[in-house]
Amino acid sequence: MTTPLISKYVLASYNGGAHLLVGRGRWLFDFWPSSEKWCQRGGSNNGQGVAGLLELIQPKQVEGLGSAKARSGRWDGVGR
């Protein structure tokens, strides 16, 4: 199951939704919802957590995100 925050960026689903292709424009990422790990296709950005992924795809979507997971610092900051 994917979080509603990321669902509008899902371009393809593999293995029954266990692996998703998400993105917008030139930003394409492989995303695994169960672990929240992600990596950029053809790039060097990778990390964990929906907030960090959204920050790369659509920066304004993360502002005001009040979940504990978004504030937990789980994103490794690569690509900032």
Q: What is the pLDDT of residue 1?
A: 52
Between residues 9 and 3, the one the model is more confident about:
9
With cut-offs at 50, 70 and 90, classify the pLDDT of residue 59: low
Tell me the residue ranges of DSSP E strands in the chain: 10-14, 19-24, 27-32, 37-40, 46-48
Q: What is the pLDDT of residue 12?
A: 95
Listed residue (45, 80, 49) closest to 65, CA to CA:
49
pLDDT for 56 beyond 70: yes
Q: Give the separation between CA 12 and CA 10, rounded to whole angstroms.
A: 6
Tens of pLDDT, residue by residue over 7-51, are 999 999 999 999 999 998 888 999 999 999 999 999 888 999 999
